[in-house]
Amino acid sequence: MKIAIGSDHAGYRLKLAVIRHLIDRRLDFVDVGCNSTDSCDYPQYAIAVAEQVARGDCDLGLLFCGTGIGMSMAANKVKGIRAAACSDTFSARATREHNNANILCMGERVVGEGLAVMLVEAFLNAEFQGGKHQRRIDQFMALENQE
């Protein structure tokens, strides 16, 4: 499994904590930035991670900002992306199992480092259940192909 990871300035410290965890777990990842707490615009990092996942260069993505919401909104503009902002382990697991989410977004101002690691683990270890869930995903993903 290869993971694309990115943040803006407001999620930079949380991203570093999760990177340490990924390294400890010996998981393969690519960090698209940002690289400091200097103010920057989150959409460029959300799009960079989303494009890595949409192209298949990475299997899943992790995005961090102040709340996780802005990153999820921006990432979801990329065709094929299902990004979810989560702040509890049930939602992080369920969004993979039921929505086949391919990007998890978190807010540094919402979750601490320990919870962020638990969210990442719940997300990475969950598997899509298919069945009725696929039918529902097909319904909303069809919107991407409308002109």
Q: How many domains does the chain have?
A: 1
Q: Which of 74, 73, 80 is nearest to 58 (CA)?
A: 80
User: What is the rounded CA–CA span in Å between residue 52 and residue 36?
Assistant: 21
Range of the domain at 19: 2-145
Residues in contact with 61: Cβ distance below 8 Å, sequence separation at least 6, in sequence order: 3, 4, 5, 6, 49, 50, 52, 53, 75, 83, 102, 103, 104
Active site residue 65: yes
Active site residue 98: yes
* Model pTM score: 0.97
pLDDT in tens, 60-98: 999 999 999 999 999 999 999 999 999 999 999 999 999
pLDDT in tens, 38-58: 999 999 999 999 999 999 999
Residue 127 has pLDDT above 90, yes or no: yes
Which listed residue (65, 86, 105, 133) is catalytic? 65
CATH code of residue 124 = 3.40.1400.10
